[in-house]
A and B are shown apart, each in its own frame.
Chain A
């Protein structure tokens, strides 16, 4: 694994640093103080679209491009996680609030028919205004246990009827469409899952509630319901043929994971911000001479460095298509806890200044807790690791 960062990634990081200090962090603080998400017409979003962000990763072509021969590297996870870490350093909430298809992009570009990609992702090729997509899997009674989702999909002529409730879906109330996961048969677990693109304004899609969160207030996490929501059959991602082909096929279990190291790297970014703020405070208040303060800073830096390297290792393995399930979960289990400790120790260094409730470290303390919950809780990651390390049987 190479430890140096390539020139292309360095350039991207520099761009993020400029954007972060001038726009992202101030916007994050603005949302935190207001206690609600940045409105959809915030000037930041218009700026982001203007500089070319908010786009889909889909290349606009009906068929996926063939990989050029002889190139061992298949991905760019290492570069992506460096950028994700830097974005989160400035404000992770705002980074998630960015316009774009978001988590809806991978299922549509990965599973969708050519027509579906065209219909749902073309608006994001060169958007002229901020647009959002959304992704809804989690339900009030199904978080970690994804197989247990209760939202149902029933065929009806040339449509499907969806009924259920979803929670914590980012951007759901402002999205052009939501990729909604539903089940055609609850007894089948994941085999019964289908993904539908439910477009904005579809009758039966509603009851949007933007949740009040502890932190990461810049983006909306939204609950909604589907009540006899009629969705055209043409919006079943991949169409019936996709599921017919897959029926009875267990398929290869995916041996590498790129999203866990990504989210872990975001936690490292938040922790790094806490470290820098704590060190700056200590410097400004002549606390660096105190051994206890220095000990805190040393511990935070040491653990963050290790956490970052765990993320890099997992991403590097993914980039070369090598198995990284253990390493990805290790990174995800470690980084959020380290980052929380960084923010918490940072608060101790602040003393009563932390108690005021208006210091950046206090915000980071509230922001970072979510990172041990999203994209698989720390407990789920340990379960995955245990299955890898000691062949822990499934219940």
Chain B
């Protein structure tokens, strides 16, 4: 749960911070279950404009909020939100929930400005709950980057599709620029990047569902897939979205066209939840635990 409800994969995707569906929110926040969502999430979901923000708090170099007691203090340089009504600090053991005493100072924001941008500070803010559970934390840590990866893929799709359409209309040297090989190949590579990232995302989502339903996939395997999908989406977004600008040439650099906005949004999204470093660490840890041949996908149970 990052104050995001509902699907966001689509053209012009900035996160749709809309309202309420407790079930969909529960799917995103595993840690406290439906009871926690009713107790802490309901007021957020029922209050127009209220926001809940989830932060990866497992790296003190990035998120300097010390937890462990009944109050928390610290700072976070940026969240894509203009207000925080419920702060969920997630680490590998569980979550710390804070409702009051959260100070938001507006900052410019590198992207995602429709969501707002704030620096957070907490000064002995009271903790309202600390749901614990390593497995639930693992699932929550898997869902959050999965959701962010989906946003990234929506942005990439739009960037690739807009620039492809532009390239089919724009004529240079006697033909549409899309028909010049160097751009044709680039457009093909961008399409491949989007589709490959999306398939990794879907496979990871399937693994999570299987793990939740006792299928042939463990939570650890599902978490690895989600981390991998996130890492891939971030990396590919840094290939696709700058090339979305490149294809439009000088027009791409102007703010009249949406592609520069996509480039900024993709870069900003990839910084959340510990960024690619946390994702690679997660995926790498699971990888190193393999003995024998490494399976790329999950074998169905016989």
Residue B165 interfacial (CB < 8 Å): no
Complex Cα spacing A213 to B182, Å: 26
Chain A residues with CB under 8 A of B78: 352-357
Q: Are B280 and A355 in contact (CB under 8 A)?
A: no
Complex Cα–Cα for A286 and B60 (A): 11
Contact residues of B between 167 and 184, Cβ < 8 Å to A:
171-175, 180, 182-183
Q: Is the CB of B249 within 8 A of A355?
A: no
B246 interface residue, CB < 8 Å from A? yes
Mark the stretch among A21-29, A72-80, A375-383 that contacts chain B.
A375-383
Q: Answer whether residue A274 sits at the interface, using C-beta atoms and an 8 A cutoff.
A: no
Stretch at the interface among B22-30, B122-130, B212-220, B266-274: B266-274
| A362-B182 in contact given A143-B249, A352-B63 (Cβ < 8 Å) | no
Task: Kindly state whether residue B109 has any CB partner on chain A within 8 Å.
Answer: yes
Q: Are B246 and A373 in contact (CB under 8 A)?
A: yes
- A214 (CB) vs chain B CBs: closest residue: B260
Give chain B residues whose Cβ lies under 8 Å from the Cβ of A215. Answer: 253
Chain B CB within 8 A of A212 CB = yes
- Separation of A392 and B252 alpha carbons in the complex (Å): 28
Q: State whether A379 touches B256 (Cβ < 8 A).
A: no
Contact A366 B264 (CB under 8 A): yes
Q: Which B residues touch A292, using CB under 8 A?
A: 277, 280
The one of A211, A351, A356, A373 in contact with B109, judged by C-beta atoms closer than 8 angstroms, is A356
- Contacts A168-B250, A383-B182; A356 near B108 (Cβ below 8 A): yes
Q: Once bound together, how far apart are the Cα atoms of A352 and B272, in whole Å?
A: 7
A143, B250: Cβ atoms closer than 8 Å? yes
Which residues in B have their C-beta under 8 angstroms from that of A143? 172, 249-250
Q: Given contacts A354-B271, A383-B182, is CB(A214)–CB(B253) below 8 Å?
A: yes
B242 near A369 with CB under 8 A, answer yes
A372 at the interface (CB under 8 A from B): yes
Q: Is the CB of B76 within 8 A of A352?
A: yes
A287 contacts which chain B residues (CB < 8 A)?
A: 61
Q: Which of B62, B110, B254 contacts A213 (CB 8 A)?
A: B254
Q: Are B109 and A138 touching (Cβ within 8 A)?
A: no
Nearest CB in chain A to that of B186: its residue = A379
Is residue B31 within 8 Å, beta carbon to beta carbon, of the partner chain? Answer: no
Is A148 positioned at the interface, with any CB of B under 8 Å from its CB? Answer: yes
Query: Does any Cβ of B come within 8 Å of A395's Cβ?
Result: yes
Indicate whether B80 reaches chain A with its CB closer than 8 angstroms: yes
The contact of B263 among A168, A290, A369, by CB within 8 Å, is A369
> Given the complex, which residues of B lie within 8 Å of A145, measured CB to CB?
172-173
Partner of A369, one of B117, B253, B256: B253
Most-contacted residue by chain A among B76, B271, B276 (CB, 10 A)? B271
Contact in complex: B107, A358 (CB < 8 Å):
yes
Chain B residues in 8 Å Cβ range of A358: 107-108
Chain A stretch 313-365: residues in CB contact (< 8 A) with chain B:
340, 344, 347-348, 350-358, 362, 365
Quote the shortest CB–CB distance from A40 to chain B (angstroms): 22
Contacting pair A355 B271 (CB below 8 A): yes
Set of chain A residues within 8 Å of B274, measured between Cβ atoms: 351
A214-B245, A292-B277 known; A353-B173 Cβ under 8 A: no
Q: Are A356 and B183 in contact (CB under 8 A)?
A: no
Interface of chain A: mostly helix, strand, loop or mixed: mixed
List of B residues within 8 angstroms of A213 by Cβ: 253-255
A138–B174 CA distance with the chains assembled, in angstroms:
17
A348/B277 contact (C-beta < 8 A), A214-B260, A373-B250 known: yes
Partner of B246, one of A214, A350, A372: A372
Interface residues of A in 278-335 (CB under 8 A from B): 285-287, 290, 292
Q: In the bound complex, what is the Cα–Cα distance between A144 and B260 (angstroms)?
A: 20
* Min CB gap B249→A, angstroms: 5
Q: Are B267 and A148 in contact (CB under 8 A)?
A: no
Q: A144-B172, A356-B119 are in contact. Are A212 and B256 (CB under 8 A)?
A: yes
Given the complex of chains A and B, what is the CA–CA distance between A351 and B269 in angstroms? 10
Bound CA–CA A125/B171 (angstroms): 41
Shortest CB-to-CB span from B157 to chain A, Å, is 20
- B7 to chain A: which residues have CB within 8 Å? none
Name the one of B119, B174, B246, B255 contacting A377, with C-beta atoms under 8 angstroms: B246
Q: Chain A contacts of B238 at CB under 8 A?
A: 344
Please give, as numbers and ranges, the residues of chain B lying within 8 Å of A356 by CB-CB distance.
77-78, 107-110, 117, 119
* Distance of A355 Cα from B280 Cα, bound (Å): 20
Nearest Cβ in chain A — how far from B245, in angstroms?
A: 6
Q: A143-B172, A214-B255, A352-B78 are in contact. Are A357 and B108 (CB under 8 A)?
A: yes
Known A355-B109, A365-B267: A214·B182 in contact at CB below 8 Å: no
Asked if A151 lies at the interface with its beta carbon under 8 angstroms from chain B, I say: no
A53: Cβ under 8 A from any B Cβ: no
CB-nearest residue of chain B to A147:
B173
Chain A interface residues toward B at CB < 8 A: 138, 141-145, 148, 167-168, 211-215, 221, 285-287, 290, 292, 340, 344, 347-348, 350-358, 362, 365-366, 369-370, 372-374, 377-379, 382-383, 395
What are the 4 closest A-B residue pairs judged by CB atoms, nearest first?
A357-B108, A145-B172, A355-B78, A214-B260
Q: Could you pull out 16 A-B pairs where Cβ atoms are within 8 angstroms?
A: A138-B250, A144-B249, A290-B277, A347-B110, A348-B276, A352-B62, A356-B108, A357-B117, A358-B107, A369-B246, A369-B263, A373-B249, A373-B252, A379-B180, A379-B186, A379-B246
B: residues with CB less than 8 A from A are: 61-63, 76-80, 107-111, 117, 119, 171-175, 180, 182-183, 186, 238, 242, 245-246, 249-250, 252-256, 260, 263-264, 267-268, 270-272, 274-277, 280
User: Given A352-B271, A366-B260, 5 other A-B contacts at CB below 8 A?
Assistant: A347-B110, A354-B78, A357-B109, A369-B263, A379-B182
